[in-house]
Amino acid sequence: MILDCAGRPLDLGTPRVMGVLNVTPDSFSDGGRYLAPAAALARAEAMAAEGAAVIDVGAESTRPGAAPVSAAEEIARLLPVVEALSSRLPLPISVDTGKPEVMRAAVGAGAGLINDVRALRLPGALGAAAELGVPVCLMHMQGEPGTMQAAPRYGDVVAEVRDFLAQRLAACVAAGIPEARILVDPGFGFGKTAAHNLLLLRHLDALRALGRPVLVGLSRKSVFGEVLGRPVGERLAGGLAAAALAVWQGAALVRSHDVAATVDAVRWAAAVRAAGVPPAGGGGGAEPL
């Protein structure tokens, strides 16, 4: 499966890694580090060299309790970075936003994928995504970033997330966005307790019923703090185990701040998953033990 991201291919024939680049002062793990366009470009180049298939640029933190950012501020933070990345790097650039005016500005500057934690639910977002013609990632979130972690509640978290994503897929198709252009994401950490996150990862393969590539974003999230007792800077091992478990169940794209290590974890899990399945073109010599 190859997605056309404004003329740049994103080949999801094997699972790939999306590198995270936050041009914000307050993101939970890399806030303030890449606000200057030169620092953002250097970070994106490093992630591309480490094997990222796409770079996801965000200009508004969605961590619990983060201050909302106006569209004008989001555009001012994003544009110089998206312009620089799309002119210097051959990879597709994704924009992490829910605001239609930000989507338009970012795609105009060279972004080729819209990653929306609100699954195109803000007024005008469905229409903007349909008109812009780039692929879209629809993410599940219960509530709003400000309050979503107060008391997340589900009957059956896996079924509810799957049904929400199915409804948003249908809304996209009705708005003129072809299904072939859509990815889905259960939204780890977005209105979910640690137990909900664990259940969603344990049953990630249930999302394959939607028939769309699954993106997962667990990198450095608080569930690793709760389960492993690790601070943000010590969550890599947990993140790699989570990436492998996700790919084992069919995830197509793993969103990560730690690209080099995650690329290896993803490739390893994908290789085990594909073992014994004949390669498409046949052949390929086995390396001796």
What amino acid positions are annotated as catalytic residues? 221, 255
Q: How many CA atoms lie within 13 A of 190 on its CB side?
A: 22
3-state secondary structure the chain: CEEEECCEEEECCCCEEEEEEECCCCCCCCCCCCCCHHHHHHHHHHHHHCCCCEEEEECCCCCCCCCCCCHHHHHHHHHHHHHHHHHHCCCCEEEECCCHHHHHHHHHCCCCEEEECCCCCCCCHHHHHHHHCCCEEEECCCCCCCCCCCCCCCCCHHHHHHHHHHHHHHHHHHCCCCHHHEEEECCCCCCCCHHHHHHHHHCHHHHHHHCCCEEEECCCCHHHHHHHCCCHHHCHHHHHHHHHHHHHCCCCEEEECCHHHHHHHHHHHHHHHHCCCCCCCCCCCCCCC
Range in contact with ligand HH2 (rule: CB under 6 A) among 55-63, 164-172, 259-267, 274-282: 55-63
Site string for ligand HH2, 64-103 (x = CB under 6 A): --------------------------------x-------
Torsion-angle region of residue 279: left (phi > 0), alpha (psi -120 to 50) or beta?
beta
Residues contacting ligand HH2: total by CB under 6 A? 21
Q: Identify residues 185-244 at the interface with ligand HH2 (CB under 6 A).
A: 185, 187-188, 215, 217
Indicate which single residue of 8, 12, 28, 102 sits in contact with ligand HH2 (rule: CB under 6 A): 28
48 versus 113: smaller Cβ distance to ligand HH2: 113
Residue 55 CB, nearest approach to ligand HH2 (Å): 12
Residue 22 CB, nearest approach to ligand HH2 (Å): 4
61 versus 142: smaller Cβ distance to ligand HH2: 61
164 touching ligand HH2, by CB under 6 A: no
Torsion-angle region of residue 229: left (phi > 0), alpha (psi -120 to 50) or beta?
left
Which position's Cβ is nearest ligand HH2? 217
Residue that is written with structure tokens 């338009």 in the block: 104
Residue 109 CB, nearest approach to ligand HH2 (Å): 19
34 touching ligand HH2, by CB under 6 A: no
Residue 58 CB, nearest approach to ligand HH2 (Å): 5
96 versus 130: smaller Cβ distance to ligand HH2: 96
Residue 270 CB, nearest approach to ligand HH2 (Å): 20
105 versus 136: smaller Cβ distance to ligand HH2: 136
19 versus 110: smaller Cβ distance to ligand HH2: 19
139 touching ligand HH2, by CB under 6 A: yes
- Positions touching ligand HH2 (CB under 6 A) are 20, 22, 24, 27-29, 58, 61-63, 96, 115, 117, 137, 139, 185, 187-188, 215, 217, 255
